[in-house]
Amino acid sequence: MDVFLQEHGKTIFVAVCILLLVGVAYVVGPIISQAIKSVVSGYSTSVNFNSVAGKIS
Expressed in angstroms, the distance from the first to the final Cα of the chain is: 74
Left (φ > 0), alpha (ψ -120 to 50) or beta: where does 53 sit?
A: alpha
- Per-residue confidence (pLDDT) for residue 51, from 0 to 100: 58
- Per-residue confidence (pLDDT) for residue 14, from 0 to 100: 94
Burial of 27 (0-12, 13-18, 19+ CB in 10 A): exposed
Each residue of 5-50: pLDDT tens digit?
A: 788 889 999 999 999 999 999 999 999 988 888 887 776 666 656 5
More confident residue, 7 or 51: 7
Residue 55's pLDDT band (cuts 50, 70, 90): low
3-state secondary structure of 47: coil
- Per-residue confidence (pLDDT) for residue 40, from 0 to 100: 79
